[in-house]
Amino acid sequence: MAHLLQTSFLPSSQCLRPNPDRSSSSTSSPMVQISRRRSKTGGAVQAKIREIFMPALSSTMTEGKIVSWVKSEGEKLAKGESVVVVESDKADMDVETFYDGYLAAIMVEEGGVAAVGSAIALLAETEDEIEAARSKAAGSGSSAASSSPATASTSADPIPAEIAAPIAASAPIAAAPVAKLASAVHPASDGGKRVVASPYAKKLAKELKVELAAIAGSGPLGRIVAKDVETAAAAPVPVAAVTAAAPAPAAASNVELGTVVPFTTMQGAVSRNMLESLSVPTFRVGYTITTDALDALYKKIKSKGVTMTALLAKATALALAKHPVVNSSCRDGNSFTYNSSINIAVAVAIDGGLITPVLQDADKSDIYSLSRKWKELVDKARAKQLQPHEYNTGTFTLSNLGMFGVDRFDAILPPGTGAIMAVGASQPTAVGTKDGRIGIKNQMQVNVTADHRVIYGADLAAFLQTLSKIIEDPKDLTF
Amino acid sequence: MQASLSLSVSNPAAIPRSSHGFESSIPFPSKPVNLRFCGLRREALGFSSASTYPLSTSRSSRSVARSNKVSASLGSANGSSSAPKSFDYDLIIIGAGVGGHGAALHAVEKGLKTAIVEGDVVGGTCVNRGCVPSKALLAVSGRMRELQNEHHLKALGLQVSAAGYDRQGVADHANNLAMKIRGNLTNSMKALGVDILTGFGAVLGPQKVKVGKDTVVTAKDIIIATGSVPFVPKGIEVDGKTVITSDHALKLEFVPDWIAIVGSGYIGLEFSDVYTALGSEVTFVEALDQLMPGFDPEIGKLAQRVLINPRKIDYHTGVFATKITPAKDGKPVTIELIDAKTKEPKETLEVDAALIATGRAPFTNGLGLENINVATQRGFIPVDERMRVIDSNGDLVPHLFCIGDANGKMMLAHAASAQGISVVEQLTGRDHVLNHLSIPAACFTHPEISMVGLTEPQAREKAELEGFEVAVAKTSFKANTKALAENEGEGLAKLIYRPDNGEILGVHIFGLHAADLIHEASNAIALGTRIQDLKLAVHAHPTLSEVLDELFKSAKVSL
CA distance B66 to B86: 14
B281 has a chain A CB within 8 A of its CB: yes
Q: In percent, how much of chain B has pLDDT > 70?
A: 85
Q: Are B352 and A199 inside 8 Å of each other by CB?
A: no
Of B258, B312, B350, the CB nearest to A203: B312
Chain A / chain B CB contacts < 8 angstroms: 41
Q: Are A199 and B314 inside 8 Å of each other by CB?
A: yes
CA triplet B488, B494, B496: central angle to 5 degrees?
170
Please name the residue of chain B whose CA is at the shortest distance from the CA of residue A91.
Answer: B302
pLDDT tens per residue, range B282-332: 999 999 998 988 899 989 988 988 899 889 999 999 999 999 999 988 889
Q: Are B257 and A219 inside 8 Å of each other by CB?
A: yes
Q: What is the pLDDT of residue A140?
A: 57
Q: What is the pLDDT of residue A124?
A: 85
Please name the residue of chain A whose CA is at the shortest distance from the CA of residue B281.
Answer: A199
Q: Are B281 and A200 inside 8 Å of each other by CB?
A: yes
Residues in B closer than 8 angstroms to A366, CB to CB, are: 161-162
Q: What is the pLDDT of residue A348?
A: 86
> Worst-scoring range by mean pLDDT, A247-261, A399-413, B242-256, B526-540?
A247-261
Q: What is the pLDDT of residue A60?
A: 67
A92 has a chain B CB within 8 A of its CB: yes
- DSSP class of residue A414 equals P
Helix axes A149-156, A129-144, angle to 10 degrees: 160
Higher-confidence residue of B15 and A264: namely A264
Q: What is the pLDDT of residue A331?
A: 81
Tell me, what's the ipTM? 0.74
Of B161, B301, B312, the CB nearest to A199: B312
The amino acid occupying position B180 is K
User: Would you list which residues of B are annotated within the binding site for FAD?
Assistant: 135, 201, 226-228, 405, 411-414
Q: What mean pLDDT value characterizes chain B? A: 85
Contacts with B, A 432-461, CB within 8 Å: none
Higher-confidence residue of B165 and A68: namely B165
Higher-confidence residue of A8 and B424: namely B424
- The answer to whether residues A362 and A313 touch, using CB atoms and an 8 Å cutoff, is yes
Q: What is the pLDDT of residue B545?
A: 96
Q: What is the pLDDT of residue A235?
A: 60
CA distance A346 to A311: 12
User: Would you list which residues of B are annotated within the binding site?
Assistant: 135, 201, 226-228, 263-270, 286, 359, 405, 411-414
Residues in A closer than 8 angstroms to B350, CB to CB, are: 188, 196, 221, 223
From the CA of B351, how many Å to the nearest CA of chain A?
Answer: 8
Higher-confidence residue of A49 and B359: namely B359
Mutation test of the interface with chain B: which of A68, A196, A212, A478, choosing the one with the most B Cβ atoms within 10 A? A196
Predicted confidence (pLDDT) at residue B226 exceeds the cutoff of 60: yes
- What DSSP letter does each residue of A143-186 carry, written as one string? HHTS--HHHHHHHH-HHHHHHHHHHHHHHHHHHHHHHHHHHHT-
What is the 3 state secondary structure string of A268-291? HHHHHHHHHHCCCCEEEEEEEEEC
Average pLDDT rounded to a whole number, residues B25-35: 41
B229: part of which helix (H) or strand (E)?
Answer: strand B228-230
Mutation test of the interface with chain A: which of B276, B278, B281, choosing the one with the most A Cβ atoms within 10 A? B281
Higher-confidence residue of A343 and B32: namely A343
Q: What is the pLDDT of residue A412?
A: 92
Q: Is A452 a catalytic residue?
A: yes
Q: Are B257 and A196 inside 8 Å of each other by CB?
A: no
pLDDT tens per residue, range B413-456: 999 999 999 999 999 999 999 999 999 999 999 999 999 999 99
SS3 B549: helix
Q: How confident is the model at residue A254 (pLDDT cuts 50, 70, 90)?
A: low
Bond into B84 cis (ω within 30): no
- DSSP class of residue B119 equals S
Average pLDDT rounded to a whole number, residues B543-551: 96
Q: In percent, how much of chain A has pLDDT > 70?
A: 72
Helix axes B59-74, B413-427, angle to 10 degrees: 110
Q: Are B282 and A199 inside 8 Å of each other by CB?
A: yes
A188, A223, B262, B332, B365 from B243: Cα distances, Å: 20, 19, 10, 11, 24
Residues in A closer than 8 angstroms to B352, CB to CB, are: 220
Q: Are A366 and B314 inside 8 Å of each other by CB?
A: no
Predicted confidence (pLDDT) at residue A12 exceeds the cutoff of 60: no
Predicted confidence (pLDDT) at residue A24 exceeds the cutoff of 70: no
Predicted confidence (pLDDT) at residue A429 exceeds the cutoff of 60: yes
CA distance A128 to B285: 45
CA distance A325 to A455: 6
B142: part of which helix (H) or strand (E)?
Answer: helix B131-148
Strand A358-359 and strand A419-432: pairing? unpaired
Q: Are A369 and B161 inside 8 Å of each other by CB?
A: yes
Q: Are B162 and A225 inside 8 Å of each other by CB?
A: no
Of A200, A219, A367, the CB nearest to B312: A200
Predicted confidence (pLDDT) at residue A249 exceeds the cutoff of 60: no
Q: Are A221 and B305 inside 8 Å of each other by CB?
A: no
Mutation test of the interface with chain A: which of B159, B257, B490, choosing the one with the most A Cβ atoms within 10 A? B257
B289 has a chain A CB within 8 A of its CB: no
Residues in B closer than 8 angstroms to A226, CB to CB, are: 312
- The answer to whether residues B453 and B509 touch, using CB atoms and an 8 Å cutoff, is no
Q: Which residues of B301-331 are buried (b: 16+ CB within 10 A; e: fewer)?
A: bbbbbbbbeebbbbbbeebbbbebbbbeeee
B150 has a chain A CB within 8 A of its CB: no
Q: Are B350 and A198 inside 8 Å of each other by CB?
A: no
B178: part of which helix (H) or strand (E)?
Answer: helix B167-192
Predicted confidence (pLDDT) at residue A432 exceeds the cutoff of 80: yes
Find all residues with CB under 8 Å of B425, minimum gap 6, and list them. B106, B431, B432
Strand partners, B389: B383
User: Count of CB atoms within 10 A of residue B478's CB?
Assistant: 14
- What DSSP letter does each residue of B286-333 carry, written as one string? ESSSSSSTTS-HHHHHHHIIIIITTTTEEEEESEEEEEEE--BTTB-E
Q: Are A203 and B301 inside 8 Å of each other by CB?
A: no
| Maximum Cα–Cα distance across chain B | 79
CA distance B186 to B197: 12
pLDDT tens per residue, range B333-350: 999 999 999 999 988 999
A3 has a chain B CB within 8 A of its CB: no
CA distance B507 to B504: 8
CA distance B461 to A51: 39
Average pLDDT rounded to a whole number, residues A220-246: 62
Find all residues with CB under 8 Å of B194, minimum gap 6, and list them. B104, B105, B107, B108, B114, B115, B116
A230 has a chain B CB within 8 A of its CB: no
From the CA of A363, how many Å to the nearest CA of chain B?
Answer: 14
Most confident of A33-47, A429-443, B218-232: B218-232
Question: Which runs of consecutive H residues, i.e. helices, occur in A305-399?
Answer: 308-322, 367-382
pLDDT tens per residue, range A338-391: 988 999 999 888 776 778 899 999 998 889 889 999 998 988 888 777 777 888
CA distance B324 to B350: 10
Question: Which runs of consecutive H residues, i.e. helices, occur in A185-301?
Answer: 199-208, 226-234, 239-245, 247-253, 265-277, 292-301
Q: How confident is the model at residue B465 (pLDDT cuts 50, 70, 90)?
A: very high
The amino acid occupying position A287 is Y
Q: What is the pLDDT of residue B216?
A: 93
Strand B89-94 and strand B114-118: pairing? parallel
Terminal CA-to-CA distance of chain A, rounded, Å? Answer: 49
Average pLDDT rounded to a whole number, residues B515-533: 96
Q: How confident is the model at residue A152 (pLDDT cuts 50, 70, 90)?
A: very low
B449: part of which helix (H) or strand (E)?
Answer: strand B448-453
Strand partners, B282: B259, B313
Q: What is the pLDDT of residue A91?
A: 57
Find all residues with CB under 8 Å of A131, minimum gap 6, and list them. none
Q: Are B161 and A92 inside 8 Å of each other by CB?
A: no
> Worst-scoring range by mean pLDDT, A165-174, A269-278, B465-474?
A165-174
A260 has a chain B CB within 8 A of its CB: no
Higher-confidence residue of A65 and A371: namely A371
pLDDT tens per residue, range B164-209: 899 999 999 999 999 999 999 999 999 999 999 999 999 998 899 9
Residues in A closer than 8 angstroms to B258, CB to CB, are: 198-199, 223
> Worst-scoring range by mean pLDDT, A51-65, A416-430, B187-201?
A51-65
Strand B353-356 and strand B360-362: pairing? unpaired
Contacts with B, A 61-90, CB within 8 Å: 87
Q: In percent, how much of chain A has pLDDT > 90?
A: 22
Please name the residue of chain A whose CA is at the shortest distance from the CA of residue B282.
Answer: A199
Q: What share of chain A is helix, strand, coil (3-state, %, to 5)?
A: 40, 20, 40
pLDDT tens per residue, range A99-131: 888 888 888 887 778 888 888 888 888 887 887
What is the 3 state secondary structure string of B380-396? ECCECCCCEEECCCCCE
Predicted confidence (pLDDT) at residue B375 exceeds the cutoff of 70: yes
Average pLDDT rounded to a whole number, residues A328-339: 86
Average pLDDT rounded to a whole number, residues B226-236: 93
Q: What is the pLDDT of residue A275?
A: 85
Q: For the whole model, what pTM was predicted?
A: 0.59
